[in-house]
Amino acid sequence: MTSQHRFSGFCVAAALAAAFYGTSVSAKTALDAESTDPVTLGWMQGFPPPPDKLVMQPESDFFSFPKMRWTVCHIRELMPTKQVSRGLRAPVPLEYAPLPGFDQVSFVPLGADTPMNWAQSLSANYTDGLLVLHEGKVVYEHYSGCLNDAGKHAAMSMTKSLTGLLAEILVVEGRLDEKARVATLVPELRDSAFGNATVRQVMDMTTALQYSEDYANPKADIWAYSRAASPLPKPEGYTGPDGYFEYLETVKGNGKHGEAFGYRTINSDALGWIIARVTGKDVAQLLSERIWQKIGAEQDAYLTVDAKGTPFAGGGLSAGLRDLGRVGQLMLEEGSLNGQRLFPKTVVENIRAGGDRNAFAKAGYTTLKGGSYRSMWWVFHNDHGAFAARGVHGQTIYVDPTANMVIARFSSFPTAANAAIDPTSLPAYQAVAEYLMAQ
């Protein structure tokens, strides 16, 4: 492996990884949140940092645990990125109504015998930032690890939900036909498996794609995707695809579209391409114009890019915690925020209604039984009608319409798969929802 290969696009290993439960990485570690705190460990401290405190390319180093607990707040310092501008106007401050009893909210983790309280769950989940909004006001806010209120954190696959939201907006506005075949919008994808899929199948990830995320197999598609997505000039002799778009053209089919849910990041990047073709704007620009400039965001966000400047629509976003809270509140309020309507209510209604639950069941998510995936949002179909954006290592925007609650969480859990984190997260969210409803 030449050193070019080592400067990666921060694409696959991190962002796709095991958000899909079936490929959960086993990462039992004795290193708890306190002993892996990136500030305590001194990553990148000193001028220059001592060799054993450097966090550098390649990705296999910078995204290794516990270094990744520093990296998740510093993606742009390791690779090229594109701004998601908040615009130039004043931020709209969040209102605060803190509830001191929060830390004592108690719940029983899935599969456990003994209860845990909220404060304990923060450490258990390697939480870097957590914001709870109730009735539109911040009732709880917490930062640790690498994050503070002025910092940004990798959103990982929550990026998908923003890409999906943009697509759903375009669908509802009549600018994107969800029934259209992808090839009619992006002719370059005609001979790929995406070509005869509908836009909706891409949005809901019910495409049937031949795409392996088996990390143990050096010939797995995920590695080819990673090489294509690298922002570096390709190594001499490299003949594979250059960039997200060229890679997508090579994806082959595996069965019939529309029958089973298959969580594959390449759907999000295909959707990013579709959006760009329909609007003439890439995901970074459209996300700025439709969302970030309209929510009173405090901070710009950004997306990683490939060597041709294409934003990583499937996992490249980094943003401030409060701004993700604003996105959650926007979803809770069905497309309105700060008294302004950003998009029709139908957009959120469509997402909240969920996708094909039978198709979803085939994927076998044990912590998400009965759920579905719609426009790249996870829909729990629980009593509260909750839905969420989710990313590996514990990233979440959790929207509970019944409790009038939004939770935004950034974390750096050692295991990528949320299936490892859900047992202490989902019951905690439910307990908090009930606590808030009782206030």
d(CA 112, CA 62): 33
Mask for 309-348, x = binds a copy of itself (CB under 8 A): xx--------------------------------------
State which residue, 84 or 105, has the beta carbon closest to a copy of itself.
84
Q: Which amino acid is at 228?
A: A
Note whether 389 and 397 are within 8 A (CB): yes
d(CA 286, CA 393): 27
Least distance in angstroms from the C-beta of 26 to a copy of itself: 28
For 100, the token pair is 């001191």
Q: What does the block give as tokens for 248?
A: 């997508």
Q: How far apart are CA 90 and CA 128, in angstroms?
A: 26
Query: Which residue's CB is nearer to a copy of itself, number 64 or number 83?
Result: 83
CA proximity to 8, closest of 52, 63, 54: 63
Shortest distance, CB of residue 257 to a copy of itself, whole angstroms?
A: 23
DSSP class of 169:
H
Phi, psi torsion values for 230, nearest 5 degrees = -60, 135
Q: How many residues does the chain have?
A: 439
Cβ closest to a copy of itself, residue 293 vs residue 404: 293
Contact letters (x/-) for a copy of itself, 73-92, by CB under 8 A?
-x-xxxxxxxx-x-xxxxx-
- State in angstroms the smallest separation of the CB of 320 from a copy of itself: 8
**Smallest gap from residue 12 Cβ to a copy of itself (A):** 18
Nearest CA among 342, 281, 303, 304 for reference residue 92: 342
- Calculate the CA 128 to chain-centre distance: 15
Q: Closer to a copy of itself at the Cβ: 244 or 398?
A: 244
Locate 194 and state its tokens: 């995406």
Nearest-approach distance from CB 353 to a copy of itself, in angstroms: 30
* 47 vs 216, beta carbon nearer a copy of itself: 47
Does 400 interact with a copy of itself (rule: CB under 8 A)? no
The answer to whether the beta carbons of residues 355 and 312 sit under 8 Å apart is no
Tokens found for residue 160:
């998908």
214 binds a copy of itself (CB under 8 A): no
Active site residue 157: yes
The footprint of a copy of itself on residues 150-209 (CB under 8 A) is 150, 152
**Catalytic pick from 8, 121, 144, 157?**
157
Helix or strand or coil: residue 384? coil
Q: Which residues make up the interface to a copy of itself (CB under 8 A)?
A: 2-4, 6-7, 44, 47-49, 54-58, 74, 76-83, 85, 87-91, 149-150, 152, 231-236, 243, 245-246, 273, 276-277, 282, 298-300, 302, 305, 307-310
Just list the catalytic residues.
157
